[in-house]
Structure 1
Amino acid sequence: MLLVIFLSVTSLSCSGGDPKPSSARANVALTVPVTVFTAERRDMPYYLTGLGSASAFYTVSIKSRVDGELVQVNFKEGQFVNKGDLLAVIDPRPYEVALEEAQATLFKDQASLRDAKLNYERYKGLLRDSGAMSQQQVDTQASTVDQLEGTVRTDQAVIDNVKLNLVYCHITSPISGRVGLRLVDPGNMVHANDTNPLLIITQLEPIAVLFTLPEDNLPAVAQHLAKGPLQVDAYSRDNQTKLATGKLLTIDNQIDQTTGTGKLKAVFDNKDDALWPNQFVNVRLLLEVRRDSTVVPAAAIQRGPQGTYVFVAKSDNTVDVRPVTIAFTQDNLSNIASGLSPNEVVVTDGQDKLQEGSHIAIRQPSPAGSQPPPNSASPSSGLPGSGNPVK
């Protein structure tokens, strides 16, 4: 009897509860907390990224063109020099003596030439007037005149050569640029056939940057370059600091089959000397600016067997699955070509628990206009700001 009463009480306590708390718990379990972002309409730049290095337009190794003692150095290491500035002086005294000697030889040979010409005219007169001189003697004297004229010309050439050597004794800068380290000290003998230069001058303003892009990008670059200059930004090795802004100069005329890339050349004014020859840089080529683009964070983009899609949050706190087409993804932002309109709200976090019609609870909306820093990128790009179109 007691056993029956106990079972009855137990049965009533289990079946007589209120069903509402269980239903509420089920609804809470079906509500997924998410983060959302409102799609924006904005102008979005499209960059191509590559690796490159700075290269001087002109690098000149300064060598002596004459033999002699280096008696004067007129530059400081690291100094900026202009074209035509005096850099060094080779002892000119041996060449000054050689010039005087050559001028004396010329003076002597010119006197001999004048005497030979007078004799030639005299011989011709004797032959014509009295026949006291034979034709052979006249012809021989004419040859003597010609030989002496050649000797005088040779003497003049020697003088010109010595004068040129005197000019070469004063070494001037052939370009404007920065002087490197001094490689020969004053007092040393230098020779025209020396292997090592006296110094090296490098032009830094302007400076070039050589970089590579995948061959598939080259037709688009060439097409946009034909319309006008393209902006090129150079970033530091760690891709954190923008060093300089320049413009694309040209595209190489061949593709490297080994790497499947083409070489491009950009020019930078480099007035602040931010770029140095052989410096490694990350390059961002601004190909175009997509006007009035629909932009969402790349985190909103999902991929499945049917392609790319986003979860669109509706006013009733449910979501729709919306297929979208991505123009390109860059700086952690995706440019939507079709499938989404500005001001629509997309889910950026919590998608792994969502499906069509799921209920959501918005945790904290992403602030409108928020944008990752320009040096961020997806791991697959290998470079910040990788502008690889999403297919």
Structure 2
Amino acid sequence: MDMEFSPEDLAFQQEVRQFIAENYPPELRERQDEGEEMSKEDFLSWHRILHKKGWVAPAWPVEYGGTGWTPTQRFIWSEETARADCIRLMPFGLAMVGPVIYTFGTPEQKAHFLPRILSGEDWWCQGYSEPGSGSDLASLRTTAVRDGDDYIVNGQKTWTTLAQHADWGFFLVRTDKDAKQQEGISFLLIDMKSPGITVRPIITLGGEHEVNEVWLEDVRVPQSQRVYEENKGWTCAKFLLAHERTGIAGVAASKRAIEKVKDIARTEVDGDKPLLANAFFKRKIAELEIDLTALEFTELRSLAGPNANRGPGPESSLLKIKGSEIQQRLTELALEAVGHYGAPYFRGFGEGDNQHPIGPDYAHRAAPTYFNTRKTTIYGGSNEIQRNIIAKMVLGL
């Protein structure tokens, strides 16, 4: 595998850098630097700029609005956006349901939903997990019963990320109670403004309203909003999860995060020697960089391999396992690096405009980020389940 960029790739890299420097919203950068919780409008501001440029969906086929970039150009794009600390585009529309719709959807579904995903007009959420049906997703109990041209949906979903902002959701529902678990599931697109939908917040340990529980009580959904065949939604679910797991790897973002940890560890605090002078901490950084480099080459082989145009396969499980574990180790090192300033997490002391956090600025998000990242080895299919997939699909055990 040739790791040298061609002159065309280097020119593209410069084009990307210049575009980001000239177009990334300064007010968004300011909010990121302050560690503020991002609003729906914050996420969409960068999304809309990239849509106008035609760069919002690099992985999509050109006929549906993709860029037509080579795997190397897509790699460069992820590297440069991470290097510039660009806000992450929400994956639920672009990286999850969008590929499902253009792969399995009807012409009418493609014509209606895909342009709205690209423009950001529709914000999507994912209705997969349920209480008691997380890693064992096929045991889900939310039901959809036919009623004329509609389904009547009843059930509960949980850990639904940013559902409080969502216009639409893609849901797995049981349409045949008597079939084997995977064979009785359908994939529905549901308007989140439908009567009977209730979104209730779940506040994380970091204090953020990121995830929710969603209740569906006699929600009427037209059958025209079912993707693919009835009772064949597990095919869509597996396809979507493979895309999600590949995205969870987050190599470029982790490379940038390592640099931030090293910057923190180089800083003297309260007159003490920089933590990076400690041989044990330096070894932890080195081991993590080695593992991340190995993951990066694995991802590059996946992007450039013979099956690259067929979508992610079982290798996505490997990327998910290593990527999520590296992210957790990164937040552990960050928390270690900030020391006692990372132990308490308070949004501010004092009153009114005189509120201020304790310690250096770089320490303020270490604890909540650490807590939030505990979930990465669980969502998208727990890492234990991913090891089972690798054993069966790759090793043939």
Q: Which structure has greater strand proportion?
A: 1
TM above 0.5, yes or no, is no
Q: Which structure has greater helix proportion?
A: 2
Larger RCO of the pair (alpha carbons < 8 Å, separation 6+)? 1
TM-score by length of 1: 0.18
TM-score by length of 2: 0.18
